[in-house]
């Protein structure tokens, strides 16, 4: 029997997807997937550090996209929710999504899908609020800026909105919580 492993990645979404790829490719019995700065070693488990590899991450992302576009959005938004243990939940969900043709598919995936969808909806709601209500200060050199500390990692989601709506001026949004 293969020893259980904890996969430790850099905290990026591509790093998480690379972890999923390596777990599938090497048929690793994954106990947990953790960000590098939050990692805890298990008593009877090995840890394996995963280096982000964008081509491998893209293969996983493309595999998910072939299954469901709705799942893609929910997985990304839930990941940005940064809830404790979200990586393991998303990993289990992706495993079930890939094994869509197996028996008991719908029974086992519904609970996970509900949790992921709920978190994704919370992140989406906060994203909309940030886009609608963000107010900028103006620095002495004319740069519009906002220092924010959002509950979720929203900057990857709102940057497109601000680039398209405020492209005529210089602006800066700084997430204090995530530097």
- Residue 68: closest CA among 86, 30, 42, 94: 94
For residue 51, give every residue at least 6 positions away whose Cβ sits within 8 Å of its Cβ, in sequence order, or none.
Answer: 10, 18
Q: Residue ranges of the chain with pLDDT lower than 50? A: 1
What does the pLDDT read at residue 8?
93
Q: What is the pLDDT, as a whole number, of residue 47?
A: 86
> In this structure, are strands 171-175 and 144-148 parallel, antiparallel, or unpaired?
parallel
Query: What pLDDT is attached to residue 107?
Result: 59
pLDDT tens figures, 27-44: 988 988 998 877 566 556
Q: What pLDDT sits at residue 99? A: 77
Cβ atoms 145, 174 nearer than 8 A: yes
């Amino acid at each position: 029997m293969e020893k259980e492993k904890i996969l430790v990645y850099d905290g990026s979404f591509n790093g998480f997807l690379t972890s999923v790829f390596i777990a599938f490719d090497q048929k690793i019995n994954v106990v947990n997937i953790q960000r590098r700065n939050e990692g805890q070693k298990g008593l009877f488990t090995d840890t394996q550090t995963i280096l982000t590899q964008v081509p491998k991450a893209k293969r996983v992302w493309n595999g998910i996209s072939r299954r469901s576009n709705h799942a893609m959005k929910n997985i990304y938004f839930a990941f940005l929710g940064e809830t404790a243990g979200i990586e393991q939940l998303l990993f289990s969900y992706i495993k079930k999504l890939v094994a869509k043709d197996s028996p008991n598919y719908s029974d086992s995936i519904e609970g996970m899908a509900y949790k992921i969808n709920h978190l994704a909806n919370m992140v989406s709601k906060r994203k909309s609020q940030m886009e609608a209500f963000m107010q900028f200060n103006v620095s002495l050199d004319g740069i519009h800026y906002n220092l924010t500390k959002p509950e979720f990692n929203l900057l990857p989601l709102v940057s497109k909105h601000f680039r398209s709506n405020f492209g005529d001026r210089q602006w800066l949004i700084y997430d204090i919580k995530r530097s």
